[in-house]
Amino acid sequence: MSRTTPHQIYLDYNASTPIDPQVASVMSEAIEKAFGNPSSAHWAGAPAHTTVETARRQVADLLGCSANEIVFTSGGSESNNLALKGLYYSQKNPGAHIITTQVEHPAIVEPCRFLERLGARISWLPVDRTGRINPNDLREAITDSTVLISIMHANNEVGTIQLIEECAGIAKEHGIPFHTDAAQSVGKVPTKVDQLGIDLLSIAGHKLYAPKGIGALYVRSGTELEPLIHGASHERGRRAGTESALLTAALGQACELASDLSGMKDISALRDRFWEGLQQAFGDHVVLNGHPEERLPNTLNVSFVGQIGAEILESMPEIAASTGSACHSGRVELSPVLEAMRVSPEVGAGAIRFSLGRGTTAEEIDIIIERLASHLAK
Ligand SMILES: Cc1ncc(COP(=O)(O)O)c(C=O)c1O
């Protein structure tokens, strides 16, 4: 599945994944056989309809829900927007209250800021140094006007996994719908909606070895949600627009592959090998960002103390990874996630997120440890 040339190493699977060959193969089949409109009653519509509905079933199976609770979207951002705005609009109460966290992806932060401009009140729960919220803070933030709680399942930068079952349980005690942005956790850790106890869950195809431009929102049956795109009655009236058999087939196949989490053991072993190698090479000069145990099995966010993460990556252009800081006119700005975790500027500036995936090999990990060691020795 590797799209890299021999000297390139891809360690940015949290940013995006290559398309799995089995996903590509169902896409080729859909191009050939499912070109019709899934809503057409004739011979050309039927295979397209079957393709879309098979995919819906595959996504539902991964989440342990019923197929009619899956709404196809264009990706994680749209799923989050539909959950937040759709629920807010359905309440017809401009001053409604929403609770979220300080470590959400911009695809949650920005819709919340937009709703704030419409009159909503937003509570941003703080996190501890590992990136976790305290469920007691959630309990205390709930008011009579709280209409939605949205807490991400796993963080995209540091991989920290929130205590979702406990938070969802608190929401349920108060009868408040609970949404989780699971763009990073689906396919990496279990995400059965009933086990987690949630009402709305966002998926992004391109984090899951499907292409960009497809995602899904799980909506527990009975949850009121105003559509963002009005039109014909596609997606049971939740999102107008002719469904893409091609893209839904891709997401369905990706979800079927993602239901087997056994490969994550190897990925987390490589991630741990990476971390141990870095500790041996750098001792106290390397610091882990995120929860030491309760984090995504593929994610390693580390700070090289006294260094600038962006500069390290610039000096190694063959390595694809992400930084947790941005340089603006000579000043280093920490990501809001590291800031919320109260990572000091000296440590945060040296942060790099390495995220591993199905194509990562032990050889690549050993090469990158060696390159980092020789680079930083200079
Ligand atoms: C946690 C999280 N939520 C949402 C998104 C947005 O997903 P998409 O790029 O599919 O819109 C991302 C993508 O980086 C993400 O990591």
Report how far ligand 1's centroid is from the alpha carbon of 181 (Å). Answer: 8
pLDDT range class, residue 73, cuts 50, 70, 90: very high
- Does residue 224 belong to any structural domain of this protein? yes
pLDDT range class, residue 376, cuts 50, 70, 90: confident
Average pLDDT over residues 141-160: 98
How many other C-beta atoms are found inside a 10 Å radius of the C-beta of residue 298?
A: 23
Average pLDDT over residues 216-244: 97
CATH number of the domain to which 282 belongs: 3.90.1150.10
127 plus 163 within the same structural domain: yes
146 plus 265 within the same structural domain: no
> Which numbered atom of ligand 1 lies nearest the CA of 212?
10
> Which residue among the candidates 65, 112, 255, 327 is catalytic per the annotation?
327
Using alpha carbons, select from 88, 92, 91, 118 the residue that is nearest to residue 100. Answer: 88
The predicted structure's pLDDT at residue 375: 83
Report how far ligand 1's centroid is from the alpha carbon of 110 (Å). Answer: 12
CATH number of the domain to which 162 belongs: 3.40.640.10
d(Cα 6, Cα 9) in Å, to the nearest integer? 8
Quick: pLDDT tens for 337-356.
Answer: 999 999 999 999 999 999 99
Quick: pLDDT tens for 124-138.
Answer: 999 999 999 999 999
332 plus 224 within the same structural domain: no
The predicted structure's pLDDT at residue 327: 65
> Ligand 1, atom 16: nearest CA belongs to which residue?
156
> Ligand 1, atom 14: nearest CA belongs to which residue?
15
> Ligand 1, atom 9: nearest CA belongs to which residue?
76
Average pLDDT over all residues of the chain: 96
Q: With contact defined as beta carbons under 8 Å apart, do 18 and 2 qualify?
A: yes
- Choose one of 225, 258, 291: the last residue of a domain: 258
The predicted structure's pLDDT at residue 242: 97
Buried b (16+ CB within 10 A) or exposed e, 161-180: bbbbeebbebbeeeebbbbb
The predicted structure's pLDDT at residue 253: 98
pLDDT range class, residue 284, cuts 50, 70, 90: very high
Quick: pLDDT tens for 37-49.
Answer: 999 999 999 999 9
Q: With contact defined as beta carbons under 8 Å apart, do 59 and 255 qualify?
A: yes
| Number of structural domains found in the chain | 2
199 plus 273 within the same structural domain: no
- Does residue 298 belong to any structural domain of this protein? yes
The domain containing residue 365 runs over which residues?
A: 9-18+261-377
- Does residue 371 belong to any structural domain of this protein? yes
Indicate left, alpha or beta for 306 from its phi (over 0: left) and psi (-120 to 50: alpha). left
Which residues does ligand 1 sit against, CB inside 6 Å?
A: 75-77, 80, 105, 107, 152, 156, 181, 183-184, 204, 206, 215
- Does residue 4 belong to any structural domain of this protein? no
pLDDT higher at 329 or 294: 294
Binning the chain into helix, strand and coil, the percentages to the nearest 5 are 40, 20, 40
Report how far ligand 1's centroid is from the alpha carbon of 149 (Å). Answer: 18
Say yes or no to pLDDT of 225 above 70: yes
Report how far ligand 1's centroid is from the alpha carbon of 133 (Å). Answer: 20
Report how far ligand 1's centroid is from the alpha carbon of 374 (Å). Answer: 34
> Which numbered atom of ligand 1 lies nearest the CA of 79?
11
Q: Which amino acid is at 257?
A: L
> Ligand 1, atom 4: nearest CA belongs to which residue?
76
196 plus 100 within the same structural domain: yes
234 plus 368 within the same structural domain: no
Average pLDDT over residues 66-72: 98
- Choose one of 223, 258, 293: the last residue of a domain: 258
Residue 327 designated active-site: yes
pLDDT range class, residue 199, cuts 50, 70, 90: very high
- Choose one of 232, 258, 284: the last residue of a domain: 258
> Which numbered atom of ligand 1 lies nearest the CA of 78?
11
End-to-end CA gap in the chain: 34
**DSSP 3-state of 148:** strand
Q: With contact defined as beta carbons under 8 Å apart, do 45 and 33 qualify?
A: no
- Does residue 178 belong to any structural domain of this protein? yes
Report how far ligand 1's centroid is from the alpha carbon of 265 (Å). Answer: 24
Report how far ligand 1's centroid is from the alpha carbon of 89 (Å). Answer: 22
pLDDT range class, residue 328, cuts 50, 70, 90: low
Mutation to probe ligand 1, out of 105, 112, 185, 188 (largest number of atoms < 8 A from CB): 105
- Does residue 3 belong to any structural domain of this protein? no
Q: Which amino acid is at 68?
A: N
42 plus 186 within the same structural domain: yes
Quick: pLDDT tens for 289-327.
Answer: 999 999 999 999 999 999 999 999 999 999 999 997 666
Mutation to probe ligand 1, out of 156, 206, 208, 295 (largest number of atoms < 8 A from CB): 156
Quick: pLDDT tens for 20-30.
Answer: 999 999 999 99
273 plus 192 within the same structural domain: no
> pTM of the full predicted structure?
0.96
The predicted structure's pLDDT at residue 2: 53
300 plus 225 within the same structural domain: no
138 plus 286 within the same structural domain: no
254 plus 273 within the same structural domain: no
Mutation to probe ligand 1, out of 14, 77, 109, 353 (largest number of atoms < 8 A from CB): 77
Handedness of CA 17, 18, 22, 23 (dihedral sign): positive
- Does residue 217 belong to any structural domain of this protein? yes
Q: With contact defined as beta carbons under 8 Å apart, do 99 and 123 qualify?
A: yes
Buried b (16+ CB within 10 A) or exposed e, 237-274: ebbeeebbbbbbbbbbbbbbbbeeeeebeebbebbeeb
91 plus 228 within the same structural domain: yes
pLDDT range class, residue 7, cuts 50, 70, 90: confident
- Does residue 122 belong to any structural domain of this protein? yes
Average pLDDT over residues 139-160: 98
